[in-house]
Chain A
Amino acid sequence: MLSSLGERVFHWLDERLDLQPIQRFVREKSVPSHRYSWCYFFGGATLFFFMIQVATGVLLLLYYKPTAEAAFESVRFIMTEVSFGWLIRSLHSWSANLMVLAAFLHMATVFFMRAYRKPRELTWYTGATLLLLAMGFGFSGYLLPWNELAFFATRVGTDMAGKVPLVGRFLLEFLRGGEDVTGATLTRFFGFHVAVLPMMATALILFHLLAIQRQGMSVPLSQKEASTTNAGMPFFPNYFLRELMGWAIALAILAALASLFPWELGEEADAFAPAPAGIKPEWYFVFMFQTLKLLPATVAGVEGELVGLLAFGLAGLAWFFVPVLDIRSSREEPSRWLTLMGVAALLFIAIMTLLGYVMP
């Protein structure tokens, strides 16, 4: 009965939208099956958390007020007065962090599997941009509750942007909407967070997904032989159900975190109060924050922070353009030096993040 209703609906839609090619595509689509197939789930998890962000973000928008006078109080209202407001806010905050984590793991696995090699360069570029956008979402969203820690962390973060040679001053004033972090900063961060970044992210995600559908999943060089003898896993229903299972587990983890460790609200920001001890940015910026903190005041006569920012800038560029720089992979040859560099970079990020939390 249900099946016949479903068939009738599909038939009705097919007559109007010509859905059969899509149905054929889904039926024929397969996912490579090898020992690293589990890595494919990180992309799906990132997408899942992004969808949670959109859903919870829209609900938060119903009550949030983006002004310096009302922002903190409106978040407090959401957490205490709105039915399940505490859960929605906590889900939004936790899901944001899990999304960045999933995106980072997705990027790392794509890097080590060399999935960016021809013809998937554009997928890498859009993915790398999406990771940067996710960090932008985090940076702009962190300020929105207008609490003390976020206020001072934003001041430090935008100060760093101000150190960029030539355009630093412009960047700083553009981000802050003036000389200092004020209500103007909050308003424009809100604008970035709910309009500019979502628009860009949605467009890029659509392109990213379209490219993946057009080209299929990449197979690591080491697994190419195994993959050619293996027919792969049908996308529907085998891989699709696995993906759903992964999402269910991600949802369970998210629900447990949001309920057991509700996201704190902190103290309301006060621009005239002294900066509190232990200001830290979001955890995914801590490695940069800690590196800049450890650098000496001057390196070879140049300001230490500037040297650090330039180094991060260059490393970021190299990472972004790795499909161009990794010539061996483009020739389908293994490149061990790049793997070593990737491991070194991950170790550096892990150690600096750890130091950021244990050092005074």
Chain B
Amino acid sequence: MMRAGLTFLLMTFAGVALGQDNCLDCHRELEDPAALAMSEDVHAQASVSCADCHGGDRTIETEGDYQLAMDPNKGFIGVPDPGDIPQLCGRCHSDASYMHRFDPNLSVDQVAQYWTSVHGQRLREGATDVAQCASCHHAHGVVSAKDPRSPVYPTRIPETCGACHADPEHMAAYGIPTDQLSEYRAGVHGRALFDRGDLGAPTCNSCHGNHGAAPPGVTSVSLVCGTCHGVQKELFAASPHQEAFDAIDEPECESCHGNHNIEAPTDDFVGVGDEAICMTCHGEGEPAYGVAATVHEEISNLKGAMAAAREVVDRAARAGMEVSEAELVLIDANQTLVESRNLVHAFAVEPLREKVEEGLALATTAREMGVAALAEVDYRRKGLALSVFFILLLAVGLYLKIRQIEERE
């Protein structure tokens, strides 16, 4: 009897805990967009109710007097003040034992990181127009960051950040530029993300961080770029430029490649020509002038040798020859070109020259293979002409024999 009563009680309370949410029921009836958005919300799916954030009593039968459910005495806070939102979200998201029930891999340091960011610091100072959790993730209808509909999904991050940072009115008070989004879109990273849908392409948060958003300072720019472009970073660190840039507080990668609008680099970036970035700091007569000119010349030599090899191999392929071996050698040669371009960041001739020579040898091999294939085409054509001549001679001989026989008859 006692056990039956206990079961009844457990079932009753379990029903309340899992199903009954009068807030949601009423606000849906009122077609409140916030309530309607909750059907897709990750929190609602994890049985987090409206009252868990807004306070109040979701179980009470109001019988028309809605204030009974939204009673401040029952903890109802209404729409949270922006300054309180990080703390409000952090009640769960900073609680490792709670969050790991849903996903053991979830980090729980978002709020702590947020307070270190410019956004967090300004919020603490009382600014209400800075980004907090809901600005980026939305307050209702929150979906996983892995969901393409999420405002923090990689392809949507630029527009999410741009909602404030590309808005001149919003940014006027802070005196920072608003062209980052349009510049990013025009750059190699933006094009990779938007045009090719490459989710590995860096977006705003890849360099600036997300919860701990802070603009990288002059000293940390190369560290940020170096997380992906590690080889170039190491070469630069060992180059004479490192010390020189440090001495004058010059940003490293950014000085030549820009920041938001990063152009696809060309081989003319280096050298002594009109487009050469080297010439913005260096001039004729300096040792660096000679290095820049040699680096450009070495890379041009390799490209020229590869183009010549490609032309011969293509000609052999068009003539019907099997040139897959030569194609493989050209792929290897192209790899040395890529590595040579990386070695530009060493700003020294020797390591580059070594790599270029490796590439030149490969280009020569590919070219020789192409030339051999073309010689084989020539040999085949001559052989064909000779064999067809003899075969047709046989046909003519047969024809004459037939005529001779038939004339005799």
User: Does residue B322 face the partner (Cβ distance < 8 Å to A)?
Assistant: yes
CA distance A237 to B406 in the complex (A): 10
Q: How far is the CA of A86 from the CA of B321 in the complex (A)?
A: 9
Chain B, Cβ-Cβ closest to A263? B320
* Interface residues as binary, B379-409 with A (CB distance below 8 Å gives 1, 0 otherwise): 0110110011001101100110110011000
**How far in angstroms is the closest Cβ of chain B from A25?**
20
Least distance between B324 CB and chain A CB atoms (Å): 7
User: Which of A76, A242, A245, A262 is close to B320, meaning CB atoms less than 8 Å apart?
Assistant: A262
Contact of B384 among A244, A248, A249, A255 (CB under 8 A): A255
Within the complex, which residue of A79, A241, A255, A265 is in contact with B405, where a contact is CB–CB below 8 Å? A241
Q: Does B325 contact A (CB under 8 A)?
A: yes
Decide if B388 touches A255 in the complex (CB within 8 Å).
yes
Q: Does A259 contact B (CB under 8 A)?
A: yes
Partner of A265, one of B322, B380, B388: B322
Most A C-beta atoms less than 10 A away, residue of B325, B380, B398, B406: B398
A259 touches B401 (CB 8 A): no
Whole-angstrom CA separation of A249 from B387 in the bound complex:
12
Taken together as a complex, chains A and B put the C-alpha atoms of A87 and B398 apart, in Å, by 26
Q: Are B324 and A248 in contact (CB under 8 A)?
A: no
CB atoms of A248 and B394 under 8 A apart: yes
Q: How far is the CA of A117 from the CA of B209 in the complex (A)?
A: 88
Do residues B388 and A252 form an inter-chain contact, with CB atoms below 8 A? yes
Contact B320–A261 (Cβ < 8 Å): yes
Whole-angstrom CA separation of A86 from B383 in the bound complex: 13
Is the pair B324, A260 in contact by a Cβ cutoff of 8 Å? no
Query: Contacts A76-B322, A79-B322 known; A245 to B384 CB distance under 8 Å?
Result: no
**Complex formed: what's the CA distance from A345 to B391 in Å?**
36
Q: A252-B395, A259-B383, A259-B384 are in contact. Are A242 and B402 (CB under 8 A)?
A: yes
B380: chain A residues at CB < 8 Å are 86-87, 259
CB distance from A93 to the nearest CB of B (A): 12
Cβ-defined partner of B402 (8 Å) among A76, A79, A245, A264: A245
Which residue of the partner chain, among B322, B381, B383, B391, contacts A252 with CB atoms under 8 Å? B391
The SS class assigned to the B binding surface is helix
Q: Which residues of A contact B388 (CB under 8 A)?
A: 252, 255-256
Q: How far is the CA of A317 from the CA of B406 in the complex (A)?
A: 44
Chain B positions 273-294 with a Cβ under 8 Å from a chain A Cβ: none
B402 near A86 with CB under 8 A, answer no
**B392 contacts across to A, CB distance below 8 A:** 248-249, 252
Contact A241 B401 (CB under 8 A): yes
Q: Which residue of A lies closest to B325 (CB)?
A: A80
Partner of A238, one of B387, B391, B402: B402
Instruction: Tally chain B residues at the interface, Cβ within 8 Å.
Output: 21
Tell me if A161 is interfacial: C-beta within 8 Å of chain B: no
Please provide the chain A residues from 86 to 144 with a CB less than 8 Å away from any CB of chain B in the complex: 86-87
The smallest C-beta distance from A85 to any residue of chain B, in angstroms, reads: 10
> In the complex, which residues 226-264 of chain A have their Cβ closer than 8 Å to any Cβ of chain B?
237-238, 241-242, 244-245, 248-249, 251-252, 255-256, 259-262, 264
- Please name all residues of chain B whose beta carbon is closer than 8 Å to the beta carbon of A262 when the two chains form the complex: 320-321
A255 x B391 contact (CB < 8 A): yes
CA A242 – CA B402 in complex, angstroms?
7
Give complex CA distance A249, B321 in Å. 26
Instruction: Find B322's partner among A80, A249, A259, A261 (CB 8 Å cutoff).
Output: A80
By the criterion CB–CB under 8 Å, are A245 and B324 in contact? Answer: no
Least CB distance from B399 to A in Å reads 6
A245 & B405 in contact (Cβ 8 Å cutoff) = no
Residue of B nearest to A248 (CB): B395
Are A251 and B391 neighbours in the complex by a CB distance under 8 Å?
Answer: yes
Contact, CB under 8 Å: A245 / B399 = yes
Task: Output the least CB separation between A71 and chain B (Å).
Answer: 15
Contact partners of B324 in chain A: CB under 8 A: 76, 80
In the complex formed, the residue of B with least CB distance to A245 is B398
Residues of B within 8 A of A241 (CB): 398, 401-402, 405
Min CB distance, B366 to chain A, in Å?
15
The CA of A238 and the CA of B395, in the complex, are separated in Å by 14
Given A262-B320, A265-B322, decide whether A255 and B387 contact each other with a Cβ distance below 8 A.
yes
Q: What are the residues of chain B within 8 A of A259 when measuring CB–CB?
A: 380-381, 383-384
How far, in angstroms, from A248 to B406 measured CA to CA in the complex?
Answer: 20
Task: Using CB atoms, name the residue of chain A closest to B384.
Answer: A259
Question: Is A260 within 8 A of B399, CB to CB?
Answer: no
Least CB distance from A86 to B in Å reads 7
Give the distance to chain A from B383, nearest Cβ to Cβ, in Å. 7
Asked if B406 contacts A238 (CB within 8 A), the reply is yes
CB distance from A82 to the nearest CB of B (A): 11
Cα distance A309–B380 in the bound complex, in angstroms = 44
- Give CA–CA (A76, B323) in the complex, Å: 10
Q: How close is B10's CB to chain A, nearest CB, in angstroms?
A: 52
Q: Is the CB of B398 within 8 A of A244?
A: yes
Expressed in whole angstroms, the Cα–Cα distance for A261 and B381 within the complex equals: 11
CA distance A237 to B402 in the complex (A): 8
A261 / chain B contacts, CB cutoff of 8 Å: 320
Q: Please give me the residue from chain B that is nearest to A247 by CB atom.
A: B395
User: A251: which B residues are within 8 A, CB to CB?
Assistant: 391
- Least Cβ distance of B15 to chain A in Å? 50
Beyond the given pairs A80-B322, A242-B398, A265-B322, 17 more chain A to chain B contacts, judged by CB atoms under 8 angstroms and listed by A's residue number, are A76-B324, A80-B325, A86-B322, A87-B380, A238-B406, A241-B398, A241-B401, A241-B405, A245-B399, A248-B395, A252-B392, A252-B395, A255-B387, A260-B320, A260-B381, A262-B320, A262-B321
Residues of A within 8 A of B (CB): 76, 79-80, 86-87, 237-238, 241-242, 244-245, 248-249, 251-252, 255-256, 259-262, 264-265
26 contacts between A and B (CB under 8 A): A80-B324, A86-B322, A237-B401, A237-B405, A238-B406, A241-B402, A241-B405, A242-B398, A242-B402, A245-B398, A245-B402, A248-B398, A249-B392, A251-B391, A252-B388, A252-B391, A255-B387, A255-B388, A255-B391, A259-B380, A259-B381, A260-B384, A262-B320, A262-B321, A264-B320, A265-B322
The interface of chain B, by Cβ under 8 A from chain A, is: 320-322, 324-325, 380-381, 383-384, 387-388, 391-392, 394-395, 398-399, 401-402, 405-406
